[in-house]
Amino acid sequence: MTYQLVTLERDGNVAVLTLNRPDKRNALNTALRDEVRAALEELEADDSVSVAIITGAGPVFCAGFDTSEFATIPPAEVFYGESAVRYHYRLQRFAKPLIAAINGSAMGGGFDIAVLADVRICVEGASFGHPEIKFGASTLYGPLAAVIGGSLARDLCLSGRRIDASEAHRIGLVSQVVAADRLLDEAKAAARVIAEAPLATLKEVKSQIIAAAPTHFPER
């Protein structure tokens, strides 16, 4: 498949999926969500790929929802419509290990991408938050609580406050904080350690992770 808003690169049995709307801070419009879903489906079907990395082009990982779509699409449709449900379902149920290489701010839906990945590595200047609660979008509590615990997840989901890379590491949201020029190298190194296991075993463990998820998006 030819993609306009994401890029896919393969490096041995590791693939890198890059959100490629740097001029829009990689904000999630319907087209980008659909391409992310299609790219994950492609990687899931490719038995030469054991581990995937998701990252962003430019200085921002993902700024969250593309609010410019509100001019033509009702906000409820952007947040909860068919495209959103299909995208979240595929992201959560991706059958292989997924590493988020967080190259900058991860806000709203970008924070969700990071949380729905299996491993998170970020740059020193990264930040995380759920500002969307301020304009009426509910935040994704369950998966975040599974990563950092219920008390902290409630704080972040209800307040919308932003945390920096240092706090993200302290609370266990990310496993590493690295220099920006080392991010992909470190993410690939982590991916290769994971990929030492047989793909069938990785998929079995991932199926257990999916089954234990506190929030399940419906299949569409």
Mapped onto helix, strand or coil, the DSSP state of residue 141 is: helix
DSSP code of 218?
P
Residues 147, 31, 61, 74: what is their CA dihedral angle, to the nearest 10 degrees? -70
44 is catalytic: no
Q: Is residue 217 part of a domain?
A: no
Per-residue pLDDT reduced to its tens digit, 48-59: 999 999 999 999
Q: How many separate helices (H) and strands (E) can be counted in the chain? A: 9, 9
Q: Is residue 121 part of a domain?
A: yes
Helical pair 82-92 and 109-116, crossing angle rounded to 10 deg: 30
Q: Is residue 218 part of a domain?
A: no
The total domain count for the chain is 1
Q: Is residue 57 part of a domain?
A: yes
Domain of residue 125, CATH code: 3.90.226.10
Mapped onto helix, strand or coil, the DSSP state of residue 79 is: helix
Rounded to two decimals, the pTM is: 0.95
Q: Which domain holds residue 38?
A: 6-211
Q: Is residue 72 part of a domain?
A: yes
Per-residue pLDDT reduced to its tens digit, 9-63: 999 999 999 999 999 999 999 999 999 999 999 999 999 999 999 999 999 999 9
Q: HEC profile for 187-199? A: HHHHHHHHCCCCH
Per-residue pLDDT reduced to its tens digit, 133-184: 998 888 999 999 999 999 999 999 999 999 999 999 999 999 999 999 999 9
Average pLDDT, the chain: 94
Q: Of 9, 132, 186, 196, which one is the catalytic site residue?
A: 132
Q: Is residue 157 part of a domain?
A: yes
Q: Is residue 216 part of a domain?
A: no
Distance of CA 33 to the CA centre of its chain: 11
Q: Is residue 219 part of a domain?
A: no
